[in-house]
Amino acid sequence: MENLFRNKSEYIRIYMGTETINDPYEKDVSVTMLNPMPIKAIVTDLIASQSVWKMPGIEANKAKEIIIKKKYENALKASQKMKIRGEFYNGWRVNGKLQYRIEGDYLRAYVYYKKV
């Protein structure tokens, strides 16, 4: 896996942010974005049928699967968005928690792009 990661990985930028609760009754939250952190990742495209099965309930125009090293787990959890090949993607979250799988020394996560 290390040789594959060395040969096929590319740089993505992870944008972390801090959330501030403006109104606790209305649950109004504002997010302040921090400087992006570049990390290496293997990025693969998901076709529409794959994204339906892997991210149930998400309607996305584009979806990608990223594999990163396990040492970036905390950065991935704190991420608000990711920039991959010039486009911003959101992480797949369920109940506010980012969904990913740990596979040995690597993490596998799904991200999506939704055009408004």
Domains by residue range for the chain, with CATH: 2-113 (2.40.10.270)
pLDDT per position as a tens digit, 27-60: 788 888 889 999 999 999 887 777 666 777 666 6
53-105 pLDDT, tens per residue?
Answer: 677 766 667 888 899 999 999 988 888 889 999 988 888 777 667 788 899 99
SS3 track for 29-47: EEEEECCCEEEEEEEEEEC
Q: Which pTM does this prediction carry?
A: 0.79
Q: What is the pLDDT of residue 27?
A: 79
Residues 78 and 18 sit within 8 Å (Cβ to Cβ): no
